[in-house]
Structure 1
C-alpha cells in the first residue's frame, strides 16, 4: 500500500474518535497523572537514597525509572487529544512521546518478569549454588541494562522513521515512511511477544512459589513458612497489577491489529483499545503498591520518613501552642 492510500485510510479512521476518547479519557489521564506524579516522585525520592543491596532493589529502581518516563508522556497526550498545540504537538506525540510511552511500558513489563524470576530463585531454588549467582547485584545490573538496550534498539526506529511531511488530516501511521510502517509492524509483534513471554514466566513463577509455600506450610505448619507466605503475597500483588493493567490491552490488541484498515468493527474496537490502553497507563499508579509490599528497604524508609514528618508536626504544634 503506497503512502497516498495510507493517508486516505488514516483520514477515514480519524472519524472513529468519539467524545469519550477526545474529552472523557483525557480527564482520566489528568487524574492519574497527578496521582502518579505524587506516588512515583515519593517512590523515586526513597529508592534512590538507598543502596543497591539486592537484585530485587535494582529491578524495582528500574521500574521506577520506566514509570517516570511513561508518566512524562501523559501531559503531551492529553494536550494533543484536547486539541491544543496544533499539528506540531500532534507530530511530537507521534514521533516521540508515543514511542516513549510504549518503550517504558514494555520495559516495565520486562522488569516485572525479572522480579518474578528473582522471587522464584529466592524462594523455590534457594539451595541451588548455580542459580545463586543470578542473585548477585552485578548480574541484576547487567540484566537491567540489557533490557533497556534491547527495548531501545527495537523502539527507536519508530521515532526515526516517522519522517514524512505533515498532511492536513492524518494519523501517526501517515507520518511513517514505507520502511517505517514495516518496522512498526515488526516492533508491534516484538512487543506483543515480550508481553506473552512475560505473562507465561510470571504465571510459572507465581504457581511454583504458591505450591512451594503451600507444601512448606503443610510440612512445618506455621513458623518456618511465614517468610515464604509474605513473599507469596508480595508477588501476588505483582500478578494482580499485571492482570489489571496489561492483560486486557493485549487481548484486545489481537482483533484490533487484524482490523487496522477500518472495517465495520473498527469503531468499537478502537474504543475498547483506548479503554484498555488507559488501564495500561494506570500501571504508574499501582506500581508503588508493589514497591511497598515487595521491598523491605522501601517499607522501612517510608515508615521512617512518615515518622519523621509526624515528629516535625508535633514539634511545630507544641511550639505554636507555647506562643
Structure 2
C-alpha cells in the first residue's frame, strides 16, 4: 500500500510557489502540510488587497480618463499600470474563496487557468510599466528636447501595446494548467511535480528577464538622476519640479521592487532549488506564501505613485472634487429655496 501511495502523482502549487504539503518521513505523523496556515492567511490578505486595490486603481483610472488640457506619456503608462492592477484585483475574491474551502476550487477549469495567468501577467507587466515609466521620466528630465519623440503620447501607447503583447504571450503556458480532481476536492493553481525541471528553467528565465534586468535598469536610472541633480544647479522652477517628480517616481518604483517583487523572486528560486521529494521545509514554504501575498500587494502601492508623481493627477482630482461639489450645490439649492419658502408661509 505504501509503495502504491508513493507512486501516485504529487501536486504542489509550483506556478505560484504555494506548496501544498509533501511527505516528510521525519514527521511523527508522516505528513507535512501548511494548509491551515494558508487557510488563515490568504483569505484575509487577499480580501484586504482586493478592497484597497480595486478602490484605489478604479478611482485612479477614472481620474486618468477625465478630459484635461494637458496629457503626457507618463499618464499613459500609469493608466495601463492601473488597468493591469484593477484586472488582477478582480480575481482575488476567487482566490480567497479557494483557500476558505481548504483548497477546493468550484469555479470551473477555465477560471482556474485564468488565475495563475492573471497573476503573472500583472506581476511582470507592472514590473515593466514601472521600469519604462522611470526611464521616460529620466529621459524627459535629463534630455527634455533631444528625445521628444521617445516621450510622445503615441510612442507611449505603442510601447504599452508591445509590453502587453510580450507579457501575455510569454505567460500563455500557464493557461495549459487547469484544475485537478483529487479525491472529493478540486485542486487549482497547482502543477504536477513531474514538471519540476521545466519549472526551474521557466523560473530562471523569468528571474533574469522579468526581474533582474528591469531592476538593474531602474537602479541605473536612480543613480543617473541623482548624478544629474548633484552635477548642475537647475535655475528654472519648472525643471526643478520635473527633477523632483522623476526622483519620486524612481524612489517609489524602487520601494515597490524591494518590498513586493524582490522577496518573492528570491524565495521562489530558493524553494525550487531546495525542493526534493519526501522532504518538508515548512518555514520556507510559509515564507513563500507570505512573499506571494507581498507580490500581490503591489496593486495597493501603485496608487501612491499616481498621486505623488502623476502628471496633473492632483489637478484632475481637484477638478473632479470641484465638479462633485458644484453638482451637490446645484441639487441642494432648490431644496433650500423650498424650505425657505415653506418657513415663511
Report the structure number with the largest CA radius of gyration.
2
**Counterpart for residue 289 of structure 1:** 304
Cα 1:155/1:76, change in 2 over 3 Å: same
Q: Which has the higher contact order (CA 8 A, sep 6+)?
A: 2
* In 2, Cα distance between equivalents of 1:311 and 1:96: 43
1:80–1:90 CA contact under 8 A, matched in 2: no
Q: CA deviation at 1:294?
A: 2.0
What is the aligned counterpart of 1:8 among 7, 10, 28?
10
* In 1, Cα distance between equivalents of 2:245 and 2:136: 15
**Structure 1: any 5+ residue segments left out of the alignment?**
none
Trace 1:45-194 onto structure 2 (pairs within 5 A).
45-50=62-67, 53-83=71-101, 86-89=104-107, 91=109, 94-127=112-145, 129=146, 131-160=147-176, 162=177, 166-168=181-183, 175=191, 184-193=199-208, 194=210
Q: Deviations over 1:240-298 (max 9, x none)?
A: 22322212212222211212336756211111111111111111111111111222232
**Counterpart for residue 30 of structure 1:** 47
Which stretches of structure 1, 4 residues or longer, exceed 6 Å deviation after superposition? Answer: none
Cα 1:165/1:231, change in 2 over 3 Å: closer
**Counterpart for residue 17 of structure 2:** none
Superposition RMSD in Å: 3.2
Cα 1:172/1:85, change in 2 over 3 Å: closer
Q: CA deviation at 1:211?
A: 1.8
Q: CA deviation at 1:315?
A: 5.6
Q: Deviations over 1:130-179 (max 9, x none)?
A: x433212222222211111111111112212x25852326865865596x
1:46–1:301 CA contact under 8 A, matched in 2: yes
Q: CA deviation at 1:196?
A: 1.0
1:301 aligns with 2:303: no
**Structure 2: any 5+ residue segments left out of the alignment?**
1-5, 13-19, 24-31, 340-345
Report how many residues are paired.
Answer: 315
TM superposition score normalised by structure 1: 0.84
